[in-house]
Structure 1
């Protein structure tokens, strides 16, 4: 079955309601357009009409792709060996939602990906309409543009114009992250999947920088990683404050007032961070919409289990054994998987304490 037939079959088999069918139709059409517009990177590089900047970036991503397969053991398939110019800033727009006084994200379930904590649209206006409907229903909502995503190996994911101009380190990070989704995947567990991919991207970039990077590249990425770490620390801090607020035995009105104060403090502290960064504005778009619980809900999805996966890699010694152990964990019952991740997180914390004591 070719990819066009697979997508048509997916739409035919998915959902029963008209609204659900419309959603799957736009998803299938968006994926078809994406794959139809992709050409092999080698063909692009052989084209004398492409600009030198694009030629340089495509050459770099081809090097990164070779490294991912050769040195990191990531899938050596046709993903990220083609390129598509989308002529828009994002490949799709994700909608995340939570209840007004909760940090628990809503879930949507799909035939391939299972249940995930977001709903993606290839058309920005359609994403805005769905986000508005959720807000009218009383949800806290964030709508954000997405530069890349993985189809988990179902299709050959292309390199996209939405991220090709990233710095070398960021480009490597993204390719490693998305390929990691093809290595191990736990159905209905976004936190497991994204934390694993984040751990792989971190380890991959560390190794790639050590072997391939020059001083300028390393410095650029260290600055990027430093700002990212600062920003995540800020979000985790205020997510915790919101969790404490919603757990209080007070009225919903009191919780709403405190929620407003927390978000105001978050914005103020972010401005202080920007000063410390020398005015860097890369995270400003995160504040483009009024802050909501949904903005902070995804922080846990992508980061909470990263220390656990780093601890698992330390135990397994090699990436191959690490991937096998992760696949075994992905196949476990959710309760057992969470128990194992919790133990690995404790191991990571103890290792961190031991390292500090021995310095």
Structure 2
């Protein structure tokens, strides 16, 4: 099996080299990403074998066994594509593994996009090295963009590698874990080229609906999941109102460059958002302080995360109810037919 992994990784590296022969920076980036992913795949261990050794406590073992149930449910009940993922385990040892960089114009909700072979245009870029992520963020900031650099706790390699269960995933409660896996497994089922917002919105929407179906027979976990989701939905609603107000402000700006005045007005509005967070008691005080810093530090790049993942939620709900009469499995079946997936 290890020999196969080496050959497969070499093929990926040569593919990247072939695509980017005349794009040295992208080639270097691709090699770095392949190396980071390879180290994870190489050091991941078979879950069943690890369980047999008694490595995990009872709660961890139950979570790992739950992963297989989630995978089975995704195929048998939801029309997901069968996946070889999440049969191995990788111990993060409490460390973060991946960071993503996003960027947006400062006075317009327009993402900066990177061009990738195979995937097309993508509005975020991942790094297994936090320093490299920060460096890319600084480069874009110098170009005048709002930038955001954040940690990622899961990702899909779209079948290029065998994605493992990460140790930090086992700290999530049942609903959180199910939602995360349904999201990533959906990417392995449907992923359209040059359509990041559609891909992420679909995965988020489907994962939420799938999680509720999966937890139907476990009322305690379902209620816990729905409680958390309701709190997140309130915050999301607040953020989308903020986006609308920022967008209205930007539309009042003249095309003539006067960035100092524009920035002052924008910062004033961002400060008002944090005051409203406190007034509405949407977040704990400690979290509000973090959000204030992030609003001011990342600006539009932070807010674009929400449109990227939840901006189409209402439209997708309409499609589910009207076109598929609330049948999630039929919706996924239809999407697999309608969307040309990578």
| Superposition TM-score, scaled by structure 1 size | 0.84
Q: Secondary structure at the match of 1:145?
A: strand
**Structure 2 counterpart of 1:5:** 10
User: Displacement of 1:169 after TM fit?
Assistant: 0.6
Q: Is the 8 A contact 1:91 1:162 kept in 2?
A: no
Cα-to-partner distance string for 1:181-236 (whole Å, 9 max, x where unaligned) = 1222221111111111111111101111213x232x22321221012101111111
**Structure 1 counterpart of 2:145:** 139
Is 1:316 the counterpart of 2:324 in the alignment?
yes
Q: Is the 8 A contact 2:234 2:282 kept in 1?
A: no
Unaligned segments of structure 1, at least 5 residues: 333-359
Distance in 1 (CA, whole Å) between partners of 2:293 and 2:15 is 35
**Structure 2 counterpart of 1:228:** 232
**Structure 1 counterpart of 2:275:** 268
Query: For residues 283 and 249 of structure 1, do their structure 2 counterparts lie closer, same or farther at Cα, with a shift above 3 Å needed?
Result: closer
Distance in 1 (CA, whole Å) between partners of 2:60 and 2:43 is 16
User: Displacement of 1:75 after TM fit?
Assistant: 2.3
Distance in 2 (CA, whole Å) between partners of 1:280 and 1:83 is 36
Q: What is the root-mean-square deviation of aligned Cα atoms in Å?
A: 2.3
Cα-to-partner distance string for 1:2-30 (whole Å, 9 max, x where unaligned) = 53233222332232233222211111101
Q: Is the 8 A contact 2:45 2:90 kept in 1?
A: yes
**Structure 2 counterpart of 1:346:** none
Distance in 2 (CA, whole Å) between partners of 1:247 and 1:29 is 44
Is 1:47 the counterpart of 2:53 in the alignment?
yes
Distance in 2 (CA, whole Å) between partners of 1:327 and 1:299 is 25
Q: Secondary structure at the match of 1:155?
A: coil
Greater shift in the superposed pair: 13-22 or 281-290? 281-290
**Structure 2 counterpart of 1:214:** 219
Query: For residues 280 and 78 of structure 1, do their structure 2 counterparts lie closer, same or farther at Cα, with a shift above 3 Å needed?
Result: farther
Q: How many residues align?
A: 328
Unaligned segments of structure 2, at least 5 residues: none
Which of the residues 170, 173, 194 maps onto 1:167? 173
Is 1:59 the counterpart of 2:65 in the alignment?
yes
User: Displacement of 1:45 after TM fit?
Assistant: 1.2
User: Displacement of 1:103 after TM fit?
Assistant: 1.2
Distance in 2 (CA, whole Å) between partners of 1:126 and 1:41 is 32
Q: Is the 8 A contact 1:235 1:296 kept in 2?
A: yes
Q: Secondary structure at the match of 1:141?
A: strand
User: Displacement of 1:295 after TM fit?
Assistant: 0.3
- Taking CA–CA contacts closer than 8 Å with sequence separation of 6 or more, which of the two structures ends up with the larger relative contact order? 2
**Structure 2 counterpart of 1:357:** none
Matches within 5 A, 1:63-142: 63-142=69-148
Is 1:14 the counterpart of 2:14 in the alignment?
no
**Structure 1 counterpart of 2:264:** 257
Greater shift in the superposed pair: 292-301 or 246-255? 246-255
Cα-to-partner distance string for 1:287-318 (whole Å, 9 max, x where unaligned) = 55424110011211111222222222221244
| Superposition TM-score, scaled by structure 2 size | 0.87
User: Displacement of 1:252 after TM fit?
Assistant: 3.9
Q: Secondary structure at the match of 1:148?
A: coil
Distance in 2 (CA, whole Å) between partners of 1:178 and 1:295 is 22
User: Displacement of 1:99 after TM fit?
Assistant: 1.7
Distance in 2 (CA, whole Å) between partners of 1:323 and 1:127 is 34
Q: Is the 8 A contact 1:183 1:323 kept in 2?
A: no
Query: For residues 206 and 305 of structure 1, do their structure 2 counterparts lie closer, same or farther at Cα, with a shift above 3 Å needed?
Result: same
Q: Is the 8 A contact 1:245 1:255 kept in 2?
A: no
Q: Is the 8 A contact 1:185 1:327 kept in 2?
A: no
Greater shift in the superposed pair: 318-327 or 134-143? 318-327
**Structure 2 counterpart of 1:294:** 301
User: Displacement of 1:147 after TM fit?
Assistant: 0.5
Query: For residues 55 and 287 of structure 1, do their structure 2 counterparts lie closer, same or farther at Cα, with a shift above 3 Å needed?
Result: farther
